[in-house]
């Protein structure tokens, strides 16, 4: 395996490890202790990286699919070779339990290997004696991947793999809250990809706009909040950049009255509180049929109460800290609503101290018993371990309530009657809809949002096409 140390952190520009005059650091959310220093990139750094990506694009786009696939496979093996170091680093910067960090790294290598074999075949639209019409896909050019802080390894790889296999060049911009794993992913990439193909720049809040407004970047692939997604789309408009936006969710799960309550409770708790609920496609609203509501709520709260909260390095911890102080303050404000709005907590509800220094950004998992449909816990995405349980009895009514609002990322229906569940699922307005599961994702399956939850899709052949220009070829015969 190529040598990679995890003590110092650099930008990667044209396969060189570069430093900046100014540096900054993040903190470990479980301890509030400082993590190492990282670069603060300037416009000059962005211009250098874009120039290197442009110079690399032509030769890279002339490589074969097989060559690019082999490089992705070797890169996946190298990441796997450093899985222990990456897992430790991911937990130190993101806060998630080590077991969940290993799971994320495993998903990332699965994604790389799947994309290494993924192709977009030419489509013959017409083939007659007179002419052949073919639809083909060509690479866009330079892609900027804007990565969030909740799944920094998987969501970086989820842009590296499709960009690279479609012969684009890619510059990663990690979240200012979680730059460490992204910097090491690109540094490791220098051993596999030609200069300029995969680069990374770490920076502060002003770095994103340098990418979205840059005249020589062809596409922005962004994962993050709806509010920032709107800014990305507006900033990309003057240069007519292509955009893929994977934005927030407020996913409903509808539980029918025929379910085996005891069997599904552990799954539902995992799918509500994984990664301290800081996943766009976690269950955020739980609609439970009134016939089973009291029994369900009792079983769900007692199971959730057994989930261990603590630093991600402690054994058996399932819920780590919220990732950063900004998010801690947002989630804390939602917990403060419990008393001000007179919600009924079936579990938890204690508001942590406003100053978490030295203690970490921890919240106890909290379940709100049947709050009003217009309450903030129902109408917004908390991105923290607090969940409303809501009663329903009429199918049309619960579908309407589930579809309410501008969100449309994921949704699920849980029932033993698969025919009924599928009928209900097909009425839900979301990019991914599951029956008897939630948050299932796979590299070959397109993933994206309806309404304000996103524009375009990532992953699968449909996702690959988002990294390409479609081109129709009209081939006249015998002229």
Nearest 10 degrees: Cα torsion 88, 94, 97, 101: -60
DSSP category for residue 33: P
* Dihedral class, residue 268 (left if φ above 0, else alpha if ψ from -120 to 50, else beta): alpha
Question: Of the residues 181, 280, 389, 468, which is catalytic?
Answer: 280
> Residue 127 pairs with which residues in a beta bridge?
132
CA 401/CA 113 separation, integer angstroms: 40
CA 360/CA 355 separation, integer angstroms: 9
CA 286/CA 269 separation, integer angstroms: 11
DSSP annotation string for 428-463: --SSEEEES-SS---TTS-EE-SGGGEESEESHHHH
Rg (C-alpha) for the chain, rounded Å, is 23
Q: Report which of 238, 180, 185, 181 is spatially closest to residue 209, judged by C-alpha positions.
A: 238
Locus of tokens 């009657």: 417
Does residue 280 have an active-site annotation?
yes
Helix (H) or strand (E) holding 271: helix 261-273
SS3 of 83-103: the string is HHHHHHHHHHHHCCCHHHHHH
Percentages helix, strand, coil for the chain (3-state, rounded to 5) are 40, 25, 40
Question: Of the residues 93, 187, 246, 458, which is catalytic?
Answer: 246
Among positive and negative, which fits the CA dihedral 45, 46, 49, 52?
A: negative
Report strand pairing: 454-455 vs 34-39. Answer: unpaired
3-state secondary structure of 416: coil
Per DSSP, which regions of 80-180 are E strands? Answer: 123-127, 131-139, 142-146, 169-173
Q: Report which of 268, 270, 223 is spatially closest to residue 248, judged by C-alpha positions.
A: 223
Calculate ∠ Cα 251-253-255, nearest 5°. 170
DSSP annotation string for 289-354: ETTTHHHHHHHHHHHHHTSEES-TTSTTEEE---SSHHHHHHHHHHHHHHHHTT--EEE--PPPPS
CA 218/CA 299 separation, integer angstroms: 51
Which positions are catalytic? 246, 280
């Amino acid at each position: 395996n190529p040598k990679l140390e995890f003590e110092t952190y650099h930008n990667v520009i044209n396969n060189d490890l570069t430093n900046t005059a100014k540096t900054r650091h993040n903190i470990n959310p479980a301890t509030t202790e400082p993590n190492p220093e990282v670069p603060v990139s300037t416009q000059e750094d962005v211009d250098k990286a874009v120039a290197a990506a442009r110079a690399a694009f032509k030769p890279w786009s002339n490589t074969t699919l097989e060559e690019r696939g082999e490089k992705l496979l070797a890169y996946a093996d190298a990441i796997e070779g450093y899985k222990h170091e990456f897992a430790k680093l991911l937990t130190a910067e993101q806060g998630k339990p080590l077991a969940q960090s290993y799971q994320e790294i495993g998903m990332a290598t699965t994604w790389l290997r799947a994309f290494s074999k993924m192709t977009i075949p030419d489509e013959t639209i017409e083939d007659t004696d007179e002419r052949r019409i073919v639809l083909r896909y060509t690479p866009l050019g330079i892609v900027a991947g804007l990565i969030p802080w909740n799944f920094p390894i998987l969501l970086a790889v989820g842009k590296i793999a499709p960009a690279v296999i479609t012969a684009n060049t890619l510059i990663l911009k990690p979240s200012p809250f979680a730059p460490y794993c992204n910097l090491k992913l690109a540094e490791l990439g220098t051993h596999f990809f030609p200069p300029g193909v995969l680069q990374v720049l770490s920076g502060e809040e002003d770095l994103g706009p340098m990418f979205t407004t840059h005249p020589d970047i062809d596409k922005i692939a962004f994962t993050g909040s709806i509010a920032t997604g709107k800014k990305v789309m507006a900033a990309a408009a003057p240069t007519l950049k292509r955009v893929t936006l994977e934005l927030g969710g407020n996913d409903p799960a509808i539980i029918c009255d025929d379910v085996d309550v005891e069997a599904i409770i552990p799954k539902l708790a995992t799918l509500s509180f994984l990664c301290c609920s800081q996943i766009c496609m976690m269950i955020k609203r739980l609609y439970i049929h009134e016939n089973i509501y009291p029994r369900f709520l009792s079983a769900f709260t007692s199971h959730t109460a057994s989930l261990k909260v603590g630093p991600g390095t402690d054994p058996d911890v399932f819920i780590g800290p919220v990732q950063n102080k900004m998010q801690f303050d947002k989630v804390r404000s939602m917990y403060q609503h419990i008393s001000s709005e007179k919600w009924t907590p079936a579990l938890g509800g204690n508001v942590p101290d406003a100053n978490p220094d030295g203690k970490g950004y921890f919240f106890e998992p909290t379940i709100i018993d049947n709050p009003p449909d217009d309450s903030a816990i129902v109408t917004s995405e908390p991105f923290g371990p607090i969940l409303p349980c809501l009663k329903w009895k009429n199918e049309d009514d619960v579908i309407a309530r589930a579809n309410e609002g501008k969100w449309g990322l994921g949704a699920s229906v849980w029932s033993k009657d698969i025919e009924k569940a599928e009928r209900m699922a097909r009425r839900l307005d979301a990019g991914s809809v599951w029956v008897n599961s939630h948050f299932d994702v796979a590299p070959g399956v397109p993933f994206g949002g309806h309404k304000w939850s996103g524009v375009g899709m990532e992953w699968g052949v449909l996702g690959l096409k988002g990294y390409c220009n479609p081109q129709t070829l009209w081939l006249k015969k015998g002229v």
